[in-house]
Amino acid sequence: MSGSAVWHPFTQHATEPVPPTIIRTEGAYVETREGKRILDAISSWWVITHGHRHPKIVEAIRHATETLDQVIFAGLSHEPAEQLAEALVDLAPAGLDWVFYSDSGSTSVEVALKMALGFHRNNGAPRSRIVVMEHSYHGDTIGTMSVGARGVFNAAYEPLLFEVDTIPFPAAGLGQEALDAFERLAHGRKVAAFIVEPLVLGAGGMLMYPGSILAELKRIAERTETLFIADEVMTGWGRTGTMFACEQAGIAPDILCTSKGLTGGSLPLAATLATDAIFRAHYSTDRARTFFHSSSYTANPIACAAALANIGVWNDEPVAERVASLSRMQAQMIARFSKDARFDNLRTIGTIAALDLRVANAGYLAEVGPKLRAFFLDRELLVRPLGNVIYLLPPYCVTSNELERLYAAIDEAADLASDIR
Ligand code: PLP
């Protein structure tokens, strides 16, 4: 026991070391009390896009606090939320005309699921079945765990999780199988919604699949009047090479969830965007058809101001070029392992690169996971493998020298697994 009262997330306090205390963040780095500068190669759980404490976002936050703090968002509105909603509608795939705010990726998904059920019920044809993709992750609340992969993380809560139908992950060669499964379910069951992480399943192991499959899934959803929910919580804001991953499949979902990079990673905020048809299904003189959802900090003005500043950075700085350049560097640098027998399944999409370390016991609880994490931290690198899956998801300000350091460390780290291969 460290004397701290903090219970950390996804942390086994009995086996993990006392975490370093961070006293400052800047660019691609987080700095400890002891003066270590740790290169944040996972963008602090995938939230930081441009870099920590982008000056324009920091300034916008400071400025917003001079006039506003939290304001109840039922019955009142404010400029930062109004302006941000307009900007999001402009940025998002066509047809997503309504913006509902919440405060985390999980809540944005909960909102999406509730909107989907409300839509069907208010239209007089209730549907409640949700179809999900194998290995998905959508959050850690009861609802989002229900639509995510079942496993060690949620075994204890299983009795509370609702049943869903699952289609196989469309791994190479299995695309048609996934499509056929969705077709069968969507025709047979009157499905309320299909929820999916577009192009890459993050926490499930950085599993990537082609846009053509995503586009076909969308077509099946359309044909069967199944609402299509794109969970872009991780993939949004340039991570996969385009602003939203759906763009690469040329699709516009019925509902889109965004959080993490929405504020550039500076403050917690989320938005669930929906079509006019979904809004209309809740628009009525009958108050029972209201969309009954809120949380105290909905549309926090300071977070909205940060998100507006983030969009300003996208507009005023060459962010798309930075994303393209980082994407190229990732693809080039990971290629050094293409013939390396210690690794398997090298893959990149946009700014994300991942590879599997060959070990006897793969999976999230692979014993090599904590060893790798400690190895990287010793070298002042923040890399947090998903079991034996090592991935780099850095902020867009990372330099080629910094990436070189990371790949050199991965090369060295692979030998750690030699005793368990
Ligand atoms: N959806 C996806 C695709 C995610 O990757 C995550 C978090 O990693 C979430 C939802 C949940 O977001 P949050 O942790 O902000 O609740």
The per-residue pLDDT for range 221-277, each reduced to its tens digit, is 999 999 999 999 999 999 999 999 999 999 999 999 999 999 999 999 999 999 999
* CA pair distance 319, 238, nearest whole angstrom: 9
Task: Give the containing element (helix H, strand E) for 100.
Answer: strand 96-102
Q: What is the reported pLDDT for 165?
A: 98
Confirm or reject: Cβ of 197 under 6 Å from ligand 1: yes
* CA pair distance 142, 153, nearest whole angstrom: 12
Handedness of CA 20, 23, 25, 31 (dihedral sign): negative
As beta bridge partners, residue 52 has: 27
Structure tokens at 224: 């069967």
> Would residue 57 count as lying in a domain?
no
CATH number of the domain residue 89 falls in: 3.40.640.10
Confirm or reject: Cβ of 356 under 6 Å from ligand 1: no
Q: What is the reported pLDDT for 2?
A: 66
CA 35–ligand 1 middle distance (angstroms): 31
Instruction: Using the atom order of ligand 1, give the atom closest to the CA of residue 235.
Output: 3
Q: What is the reported pLDDT for 420?
A: 52
CA 412–ligand 1 middle distance (angstroms): 30
Instruction: Using the atom order of ligand 1, give the atom closest to the CA of residue 203.
Output: 5
> Would residue 151 count as lying in a domain?
yes
* CA pair distance 413, 415, nearest whole angstrom: 5
> Would residue 11 count as lying in a domain?
no
Q: Which of 43, 47, 106 to mutate to test the pocket of ligand 1 (most atoms within 8 A of CB)?
A: 106
Q: What is the reported pLDDT for 362?
A: 76
Q: What is the reported pLDDT for 360?
A: 86
Dihedrals phi, psi of 208, to nearest 5 degrees: -110, 145
> Model confidence over 360-393: pLDDT tens digits?
887 777 788 889 999 999 999 999 999 999 999 9
CA 105–ligand 1 middle distance (angstroms): 4
Residues in the chain, pLDDT under 50:
none
Instruction: Using the atom order of ligand 1, give the atom closest to the CA of residue 202.
Output: 5
- Alpha-carbon 108 to chain mean position: 11
* CA pair distance 145, 44, nearest whole angstrom: 22
CA 106–ligand 1 middle distance (angstroms): 6
Confirm or reject: Cβ of 149 under 6 Å from ligand 1: no
> Would residue 177 count as lying in a domain?
yes
CA 258–ligand 1 middle distance (angstroms): 9
Confirm or reject: Cβ of 110 under 6 Å from ligand 1: no
> Would residue 383 count as lying in a domain?
no
Residues 6 or more apart whose Cβ sits within 8 Å of residue 376: 41, 382, 383, 409, 413
Q: Which domain holds residue 86?
A: 82-315
> Would residue 115 count as lying in a domain?
yes
* CA pair distance 168, 176, nearest whole angstrom: 10
CA 177–ligand 1 middle distance (angstroms): 27
Query: What value does the CA radius of gyration of the chain take, rounded to a whole number of Å?
Result: 21
Instruction: Using the atom order of ligand 1, give the atom closest to the CA of residue 232.
Output: 3
> Would residue 390 count as lying in a domain?
no
Confirm or reject: Cβ of 105 under 6 Å from ligand 1: yes
Domain count across the chain = 1
CA 421–ligand 1 middle distance (angstroms): 32
Confirm or reject: Cβ of 233 under 6 Å from ligand 1: yes
Confirm or reject: Cβ of 203 under 6 Å from ligand 1: yes
Confirm or reject: Cβ of 106 under 6 Å from ligand 1: yes
Instruction: Compute the C-alpha angle 220/225/228, nearest 5°.
Output: 65
> Would residue 236 count as lying in a domain?
yes
pTM of the shown model: 0.98
